[in-house]
């Protein structure tokens, strides 16, 4: 998926997140947290500022919410505290990428080890 597609998907998701709140039968809906499809699951975590984190995984994978929280922590540490990072721009912080890959690997090893 190239950058244009990513942008389209992101804007589509943002609107659908909002529409799903409108269609809620009860009050207090905070948007889509999990989308289950035939071949994948998509977990979404929304921070208090509205930044959304997604994980696409195999159907039925457990503990993705924990992974998303870990990624959120890495984001606050390596991206937001980076003085050269401009808000709302694509993230190009090396440390963030390295730690992100490590976190996902650790998660994968933990899953396989079980």
Partner 1 sequence: MQFFGGSEISPSPPTPTTTTGNNAHMIYIFNRNGVCLLYREWNRPLHTLNPQQDHKLMFGLLFSLKSLAAKMDPTSADKGNLGVPQLPGQGCSFHSFRTNSYKLSFMETPSGIKFILVTNPRTSDLRETLKYIYNLYVEYVAKNPLYTPGTPIRCELFNTAVDQYVRSI
Name the one range near partner 1 by CB under 8 A: 2-10, 61-69, 83-91, 92-100: 2-10
Residue partners of 96: CB distance under 8 A and separation at least 6: 74, 75, 78, 79, 82
Question: Of the ranges 5-13, 74-82, 83-91, 94-102, which one interacts with partner 1 (CB under 8 A)?
Answer: 5-13
Q: Is residue 13 part of the contact set for partner 1 (CB under 8 A)?
A: yes
Instruction: Write down the least CB distance from residue 21 to partner 1, Å.
Output: 8
Q: What are residue 33's phi and psi, to 5 degrees?
A: -105, -30
Nearest to 54 by CA among 41, 65, 62, 42: 42
**Binds partner 1 (CB under 8 A): choice among 2, 3, 26, 48:** 26
Between residue 48 and residue 87, which ones bind partner 1 under the rule CB under 8 A? 56
Number of CB atoms found within 10 A of residue 90's CB: 8
How many chain residues touch partner 1 (CB under 8 A)? 32
- CB–CB of 45/68 below 8 Å? yes
- Where on the chain is the footprint of partner 1 (CB under 8 A)? 1, 5, 8-9, 12-13, 15-16, 19-40, 42, 56
């Amino acid at each position: 998926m190239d950058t244009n597609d990513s942008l389209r998907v992101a804007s589509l998701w943002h609107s659908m997140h909002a529409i799903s709140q409108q269609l809620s039968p009860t009050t207090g809906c905070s948007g889509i947290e999990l989308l289950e499809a035939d071949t994948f699951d998509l977990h979404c975590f929304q921070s208090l500022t509205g930044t959304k984190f997604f994980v696409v995984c195999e159907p039925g994978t457990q503990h993705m919410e924990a992974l998303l929280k870990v990624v959120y922590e890495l984001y606050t540490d390596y991206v937001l505290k980076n003085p050269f990072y401009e808000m709302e721009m694509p993230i190009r912080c090396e440390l963030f990428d390295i730690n992100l890959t490590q976190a996902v690997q650790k998660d994968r090893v933990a899953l396989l080890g079980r």
